[in-house]
Amino acid sequence: GAVVSQHPSWVICKSGTSVKIECRSLDFQATTMFWYRQFPKQSLMLMATSNEGSKATYEQGVEKDKFLINHASLTLSTLTVTSAHPEDSSFYICSALLGVAYEQYFGPGTRLTVT
C-alpha cells in the first residue's frame, strides 16, 4: 500500500515551453503533497507544499509563477514548469502524506531535460 506515482517518468522539452508533471497517490488520499527538486549528486530541496483545495506554499527562492502547483483532488497534484529553461533541468520528486501519518511516501521522480 501507500504507492505514489509520477507521470511522466522523463520528459524532454524545448526552451520556452511548459511541462506538466503529475503526482498521484494510488491507494490513499493525500490532503498534503510536497514537491522537491534534486540536481545531480545533490540532495532533495523542497520547492513547495501542496494542499488540496488551497494555494500551495512555496519555499523561499522558488518562483510561484514559474512553478505552478495545482492540488485539485485528494489523489492528484500537478507541477507545471512554465517557460522552461535549461537551468530547470532536474529530477523532480513528489511525496504524499498518508492521512495524519508522519511518513511521506515518495514518487519515483520525473527527469526533466530542457534543451
C-alpha 73/C-alpha 23 separation (Å) is 11
Query: Please, what's the largest Cα pairwise distance for the chain?
Result: 40
> What is the number of other CB atoms lying within 10 angstroms of the CB of residue 112?
21
CB of 46 to other proteins, least distance (A): 5
Cβ closest to other proteins, residue 12 vs residue 17 = 12
Cβ closest to other proteins, residue 44 vs residue 74 = 44
C-alpha 26/C-alpha 94 separation (Å) is 13
Cβ closest to other proteins, residue 17 vs residue 101 = 101
CB of 25 to other proteins, least distance (A): 13
Query: Which residues contact other proteins (rule: CB under 8 A)?
Result: 4, 6, 32, 34, 39, 41-46, 49, 61, 93, 95, 97, 99-109, 111
Cβ closest to other proteins, residue 16 vs residue 108 = 108
CB of 102 to other proteins, least distance (A): 4
How far are the Cα atoms of 30, 56, 75, 78 from residue 72, in angstroms, in the given order?
A: 11, 11, 8, 9
